[in-house]
A = this chain, B = another copy of it.
Amino acid sequence: MSADGQGMYDLVRRLYPLCRSITGEGLRQTLAILGQETDLELHEVPTGTPVLDWTVPKEWNLRDAYVKDASGRRVIDFQACNLHVVGYSVPVHQTMPLAALRRRLHTLPEHPDWVPYRTSYYQEDWGFCLSQRQLDGLADGDYEVRIDATLADGHLTFAECLVPGQTSEEALISAHACHPSLANDNLAGIAVAVWLAKRLRAASSPARHTYRFLFAPGTIGAITWLALREPLLQRIRHGLVLACAGDPGPLTYKRSRRGDAEIDRVMAHVLTRSGRPHEIAEFSPYGYDERQFCSPGFDLPVGCLSRTPYGRYPEYHTSADNLDLVSPEAMEDTLETCWEVLTVLEANRSYRNLSPKGEPQLGRRGLYGSIGGRSDTEERQLALLWVLNLSDGGHSLLDVAERAELPFALVAEAATRLEAARLLAPTAHSERPGRVPLRQQA
């Protein structure tokens, strides 16, 4: 699987230099590159479109930006690092003394070599971010300040990747795509999502669920998507936000607002059985776009998978969240965990025992050893008995696995054998998906 890890890392490296924001060309280029990896549908939503309680903002594009000292030397240079400009800074070109400039400058005194990441999306403002050491090196005197940006009517861009399944029941995988040169937050999450889409497309037969991948700017992108896709939301059975998916820390799953949604239980089952160190955190209305998906008016069953989560690693939202922080191995570990979760979600059905009175005679169906008397409690046989015993329509295979304390795969295999022997039938019925168009845009 090392090829997957390397492939994801290469994608991260390719996307890293682009100057992304919640709108603009950097975001558009990012989505175009993703479209080279997997089939994507791009959507452009015009500035001014009302979306839930919000409005799609003006589009921001930045060509160049710098602060020059009296000698004309660029002491802060956007070309060197796109974090140097406060996101959504309005155009400015003026000369001002250091004393006046200072209040526009953001640093991280506790990490004197790192450049912080700052934005001001919804209040027109401008500023620069730089390392404390850079700031300390600035002499008094006048500086030429230039931000060559446009903030004008345009569009907000997002992309969806739809992998059709056997049913219209959907699983949503979402990764925010608005951050500039920050590798873990969230190029790693984007890469894992793309690789999941590739694997699903590469499968020999369609999955039971239809998978919808969303690459959109954080907050406003999720809100825009929710507004436009509202008629479709009732199809969503499970959802996962991928963020900070590539750092060396152990996996952390944050439950959905519901706390016991199927995705929550599957994630806990997979992580607990994996033997890997991990953390399972309760929902809180802070973090990534699960905030929007789990708002009370939607309350979608969407959790968030990270390695080290939101704000809990020192490099978070700084220039140190770079290509050194993420690794092919960590992204691959995240990918494999997601894949295992998808495998369980796919197989997790409720069944009805078609011979529920007493045990059916497994022996005559070749499902049971014929020599009795041995204390033969081996797991495969136990799995058959557990599935039969709990298949009353009210228990899913995951319920069976948890109550029986057996691996899910063994329980799912037992269900398959029993279904083949006509002793079991799935309870739910799902139809083929129809196509839901984007809601009419303003």
Contacts and interface: CB of A to CB of B under 8 A. Distances in A.
Interface of A: 52-54, 86-87, 116-123, 125, 219, 222-223, 226-227, 230, 257, 284-286, 291-292, 294-299, 310-311, 316-317, 353, 355-361, 363-364, 370-375, 377, 382, 385-386, 388-392, 404
Nearest to A124: B370
A370 B89 CA distance: 13
Contact of A353 (B122, B296, B382): B296
Contacts of A122: 361, 363-364, 370
Contact of A357 (B297, B360, B386, B404): B297
Nearest to A233: B357
A105 to B, nearest CB: 13
Contact of A355 (B53, B118, B284): B53
Given A223-B358, A311-B375, 17 more contacts: A52-B357, A53-B361, A54-B358, A87-B373, A117-B373, A120-B370, A120-B372, A121-B372, A219-B359, A226-B358, A227-B357, A285-B385, A285-B386, A295-B389, A296-B388, A297-B355, A299-B392
A385 B390 CA distance: 40
27 contacts: A52-B357, A52-B358, A53-B357, A53-B358, A53-B359, A87-B372, A116-B373, A118-B373, A120-B372, A122-B370, A123-B363, A125-B371, A227-B357, A230-B357, A284-B382, A284-B386, A285-B386, A291-B359, A292-B358, A295-B356, A295-B357, A296-B389, A296-B390, A296-B392, A297-B357, A298-B358, A311-B377
A285 B317 contact: no
A370 B125 contact: yes
Total copies of this chain within the assembly: 3
Contacts of A226: 357-358
A350 to B, nearest CB: 12
Contact of A119 (B117, B358, B364, B373): B373
Contacts of A125: 370-371
A223 B361 CA distance: 10
A226 B123 CA distance: 61
A155 to B, nearest CB: 19
A351 to B, nearest CB: 11
Contacts of A357: 52-53, 226-227, 230, 295, 297-298
Contacts of A372: 87, 118-121
B285 A388 contact: yes
A361 B297 contact: no
B375 A316 contact: yes
A372 B106 CA distance: 12
Nearest to A360: B53
A98 to B, nearest CB: 21
B53 A294 contact: no
A11 to B, nearest CB: 24
A121 B285 CA distance: 60
A122 to B, nearest CB: 5
Contacts of A371: 86, 118-120, 125
A118 B358 CA distance: 23
A391 B227 CA distance: 20
Contact of A375 (B86, B317, B390): B317
Contacts of A292: 358-359
A296 B219 CA distance: 48
Contact of A356 (B118, B296, B310, B363): B296
